[in-house]
Amino acid sequence: SQQGEEDPQALSIQEGENATMNCSYKTSINNLQWYRQNSGRGLVHLILIRSNEREKHSGRLRVTLDTSKKSSSLLITASRAADTASYFCATDALRGAQKLVFGQGTRLTINP
Amino acid sequence: GAGVSQSPSNKVTEKGKDVELRCDPISGHTALYWYRQSLGQGLEFLIYFQGNSAPDKSGLPSDRFSAERTGGSVSTLTIQRTQQEDSAVYLCASSLAGVAGDTDTQYFGPGTRLTVL
């Protein structure tokens, strides 16, 4: 079954507003990563947060991780039209497995 | 090149034909991954290579799918006797490590869009 699930499935906001996307997962993890995908092609890595970290920042991105709730959130501040894309969280299992398990993604639309 | 490259970028084939998809990972990356993404869906893991060996093939959907990696670099994903349900974007990723117990950042190629008519 799918490890990560994003919420909401789609989000539409005005340029300049903040966008928050959530991700839940089911099993213990080593780390959680967020990716962006434009036009259904290659994924761009945004940020990696390890299981012993609670919050991480990168530019306008802020990621939190709550391992007790098995959830993560991605906040994009001061959104821009160029942020329009699909956003995926991906997790790796705690033991052995090297594969990433992706959620279904959140489709974010920034309206000018 | 600086990033992961894949070829072809688009492939249209007829049902029953075989196809080969190629991935060139970032130089020096020992781990290589294949994923598949159907329309509007998340990514589905297919296979993982560490060097030339594939410790995890658990995601290959049937025995029509196979992959190899030579010289610790280029990988080829082969789909035999393609079916319409094989239509998807096939994405390759590479990472520096992939050592058990930790997963490094995976860098993705642009993908190959496969359409089976």
Give me the pLDDT at residue B101, please: 47
Per residue of chain A (112 residues), give pLDDT as tens: 445 678 899 999 999 999 999 999 988 888 899 999 987 678 999 999 999 999 999 999 999 999 999 999 999 999 999 999 999 999 986 555 578 888 889 999 999 9
Q: How far apart are CA B98 and CA B65, in angstroms?
A: 23
C-alpha distances out from residue A58 to A90, B9, B89, B112, Å = 17, 31, 29, 30
Confirm or reject contact between A30 and chain B (CB < 8 A): yes
Token couple for A58 = 């990168």
Query: Could you count the other beta carbons within 10 Å of the beta carbon of residue B60?
Result: 19
Token couple for B99 = 């050592």
Separate counts of helices (H) and strands (E) for chain B: 0, 11
List the one residue out of B112, B100, B23 whose CA is nearest residue B69: B23
CB contact under 8 Å between A31 and B102, yes or no, is: yes
CB contact under 8 Å between A88 and B42, yes or no, is: yes
Pick from A88, A96, A99: which is nearest to B33 by CB?
A99
Confirm or reject contact between B51 and chain A (CB < 8 A): no
Q: How far apart are CA A11 and CA A22, in angstroms?
A: 11
Token couple for B53 = 């060996």
Token couple for A11 = 């989000």
Give me the pLDDT at residue A22, please: 96
Confirm or reject contact between B56 and chain A (CB < 8 A): yes
Along chain B (117 residues), what's the average pLDDT of each consecutive run of 10 residues?
A: 90 97 94 90 88 88 94 94 96 78 78 96
Give residue-wise pLDDT tens across range A83-101.
999 999 999 865 555 788 8
Q: How far apart are CA B10 and CA B19, in angstroms?
A: 12
Best of A98, A100, A106, A107 to disrupt the B interface by mutation (most B CBs within 10 Å)? A98
CB contact under 8 Å between B110 and A41, yes or no, is: yes
